[in-house]
Amino acid sequence: MAQKNKKEYEFQSEVKQLLNILVYSLYKNKEVFVRELISNAVDALNKVQFELMTDSETEDPGQDLRIDISFNQNQNQLIIEDTGIGMTRKELRENIGTIAHSGTIGFLKKLSKSKDKERLDLIGKFGVGFYSTFMAAEEVHIYTKSHQKGSLAYLWKSTGDSNYTIEQTVKKKRGTRIEVFLKDDQKEFLEKQRIKTILSKYSKFVPFPVYIENEKFQAAEAIWSQPKTSLKKEDYVEFYKFFTNLQEEPEMHLHLSSDAPVQFNAVLFVPKSSMEKTGFFRSPPGVDLYSKKVLIQKSSHDVMPEYLRFVKGVIDSEEIPLNISRETVQNDIKINRIKKHIIKKLISEIVKIKNKNWDPYLRIWDHFNRNFKEGVVSDFENRERLSQLLLFHSSKSREDYTDLDSYLERMPEQQKEIFYTSGPDTEAIEKNPALEAFHKKDLEVLYLYDPLDEFVFEHLGEYKGIKFKLAESAKIEVEEDKEKKKSKAYLEDIKRFVQYLKELYGDKVADVQISKRLVDSPCMLVHPSDGPSIQMERIMKMTNKDYEFSKKAFEINPDHDLIKQMVRIHKKNPKSKSLKQLAIQMLDNMRLREGLVEDVDSIVSQIQEIMLQAAKQARTSVGKKTSEKK
Ligand code: ADP
């Protein structure tokens, strides 16, 4: 009978890889495998509890929901048994033999590429589920019987190398019994006290009774249904660690309770770090939905908006019927009311942290700024609240971040717009001639480094009634210096030069103008007043080859020596070949600067032609000087 239907299978290659890493890992914190097994047992019990409530046909319906931990000293065995949902033969193969979760596969890739020390951090941070057992075990047996009526029981066996076997077995109770055959140097897990300590550390909040050798383990009550006043910060931290299987503390927590108009309790956390930031994968949602302490939806997609997927925690409401379907959760008026309230409160709480505790907020920003930006774009209702969370660098805040409210506070009364520009870094941004007038007039310009920021501004349009304005397209003038006052004659000459440029440039530019904003640079391109910034245009060009850059106006600085020289040449000889070369090069320089040039080769030969002229001139003057010396 024991050998009945025995079959040998090979682990999926990812599992083999993971097992290999774990078995030989020097990870000191091997005790986490107990936490992982308990956490799996809790999941299994949650699932069967839900099945029982929604009265589908279940094996062993009268069975207590519980976890039993025992030891077999002679065989070096730690045994963890639950009366949860169990597994069929197929489920055993799918759940234990393979890794389906894309996150785990991503994690694994990272793990196999990382150095030893990082590896250990990663194992601790991520948790590697059932397989972590093999850090302490030389062999594992799983006896399991599914909750589905009439199910057979199976025994899964593996020593953690490349294979496992499954055979039919006898098991009376529904659920799963895991026998961990400990390695010789891991016998500490055969001590009752050791296991109790591990449970207190990681599993204090188990929502089902746990017995260690028939002695009941004192678990803590569900934290969210306790009054806030009876809880300390440490209680939340402990619950968070239990809930997430993480060893780090949360960045913040929020406990909300309400009786009317709708009843609910919620405990939510903002984590200290983001898995997305490390580049693993897109985080699954982190909030579980309960009804009277029964888990209804784990990692619910319906109680938090996508952009808040990093938030972890629990929402429990009596108003939610146990057998609610996904569609109903989405459309339920009461759930939506709870959801709305919670989101608003949560964002307000983060805003409060920003206003009171700058350093913790900077950490939150560092990890979740992309989420907030996503929120500004997608959550119309909380748009303004979320905009308060946005941080930027600016011409007046190069080193430190600033927020929009501080920008508004610094803004002089006559200023009517929030100015911004974009670029890859401060250095690049500050070389932009468009900013000269702003610096001269002491007007603050926000520096956007993240291309997403511009989408955000476009979406917002304004903040607290003040419009966003791209610096390159803003109308701005600097007052003319008295000593730079231009003669009437020069003004006439430069107007004719502008006309000359217009004809020369044709439809390469929208217009040619005498600049009132340039200070140090000879010329610049001005963007159409409501057009996208050049950063944005480049992105559009990358995604769509046929995208045509918007036409820009060309401005020249009448006080710049280069322009003065060119005006002079133009006055003397409007047909000068060198002038034409210089004028074309002047526009191309700006187009190069903005990354608008597609035909670099012709520009290079043009520059070489200008160099040749310059070299000839230099030679004549050198020739003159040497002949003078002689
Ligand atoms: P995770 O728990 O993160 O999904 P594990 O490797 O720990 O990853 O477990 C893989 C799967 O095996 C679980 O998702 C679950 O379907 C199944 N499983 C593990 N332990 C049990 C158990 N005690 N009862 C029922 N199913 C289990």
Q: What is the CATH number of the domain that holds 332?
A: 3.30.230.80
Distance 69 CA to ligand 1 centre (A): 17
User: Does one domain contain both 258 and 183?
Assistant: no
How do beta strands 252-258 and 175-182 pair? unpaired
Q: Is 284 in the pocket of ligand 1 (CB under 6 A)?
A: no
The rounded distance, in Å, linking the Cα atoms of 463 and 460 is 7
Among 95, 105, 126, residue to substitute to test ligand 1 (most atoms within 8 Å of Cβ): 95
Last residue of a domain, one of 174, 195, 218: 218
User: Does one domain contain both 42 and 101?
Assistant: yes
User: Does one domain contain both 66 and 48?
Assistant: yes
User: Does one domain contain both 78 and 93?
Assistant: yes
Q: Is 48 in the pocket of ligand 1 (CB under 6 A)?
A: no
Length of the chain: 630
For residues 576-586, give the mean pLDDT.
94
User: Does one domain contain both 213 and 270?
Assistant: no
User: Does one domain contain both 344 and 398?
Assistant: no
Q: Is 32 in the pocket of ligand 1 (CB under 6 A)?
A: no
The pair of three-digit structure tokens given for residue 401, joined into one six-digit string: 């971040």
- Measured from the Cα of 101, ligand 1's closest atom is 4
Whole-model pTM over 0.85: no
User: Does one domain contain both 324 and 403?
Assistant: no
User: Does one domain contain both 149 and 29?
Assistant: yes
Query: Does any domain span residue 385?
Result: no
Last residue of a domain, one of 202, 218, 234: 218
User: Does one domain contain both 29 and 136?
Assistant: yes
How do beta strands 553-556 and 511-514 pair? parallel
Query: Does any domain span residue 355?
Result: no
Please provide the average confidence, as pLDDT, over all residues in the chain. Answer: 89
pLDDT at 280 over 70: no
- Selected residue with higher pLDDT from 603 and 116: 603
Q: Is 247 in the pocket of ligand 1 (CB under 6 A)?
A: no
- Measured from the Cα of 47, ligand 1's closest atom is 25
Which domain covers residue 576, as residue numbers?
A: 483-529+539-623
Give pLDDT, residue 104: 66
pLDDT in tens, 90-127: 999 988 877 766 566 666 677 667 776 666 666 655 65
Query: Does any domain span residue 534?
Result: no
User: Does one domain contain both 550 and 425?
Assistant: no
For residues 186-204, give the mean pLDDT.
91
pLDDT at 629 over 60: no
The 8 Å CB, 24+ separation contacts for 394-401 are 394/444, 394/445, 394/446, 394/447, 395/430, 395/435, 395/438, 395/439, 395/444, 395/445, 395/447, 396/444, 398/426, 398/447, 401/362, 401/365
Nearest to 2 by CA among 120, 165, 123: 165
Q: Could you write out the DSSP letters of every residue in 133-146?
A: GGGTEEEEEEEEE-
Give pLDDT, residue 464: 95
Q: Worst-scoring range by mean pLDDT, 106-115, 250-259, 282-291, 300-309? A: 106-115
Query: Does any domain span residue 230?
Result: yes
Note whether 85 and 48 are within 8 A (CB): yes
Query: Does any domain span residue 296?
Result: yes
Indicate which CATH number applies to the domain containing 519: 1.20.120.790
Q: Is 289 in the pocket of ligand 1 (CB under 6 A)?
A: no
Q: Longest C-alpha distance within the chain, in Å?
A: 117
User: Does one domain contain both 442 and 551?
Assistant: no
Query: Does any domain span residue 381?
Result: no
pLDDT in tens, 434-482: 999 999 999 999 999 998 998 899 889 999 999 999 999 898 988 877 7
- Measured from the Cα of 91, ligand 1's closest atom is 16
Indicate which CATH number applies to the domain containing 54: 3.30.565.10
Among 22, 40, 147, residue to substitute to test ligand 1 (most atoms within 8 Å of Cβ): 40
Q: Worst-scoring range by mean pLDDT, 24-38, 194-208, 342-356, 391-405? A: 24-38
Last residue of a domain, one of 350, 382, 416: 350
Query: Does any domain span residue 1?
Result: no
Give pLDDT, residue 263: 92
Give pLDDT, residue 376: 95
Give the total number of structural domains in the chain. 4
Distance 95 CA to ligand 1 centre (A): 6
Query: Does any domain span residue 372?
Result: no
Indicate which CATH number applies to the domain containing 404: 3.40.50.11260
User: Does one domain contain both 306 and 417?
Assistant: no
Q: Is 130 in the pocket of ligand 1 (CB under 6 A)?
A: yes
Distance 117 CA to ligand 1 centre (A): 27
Cβ partners under 8 Å of residue 380, min gap 6? none
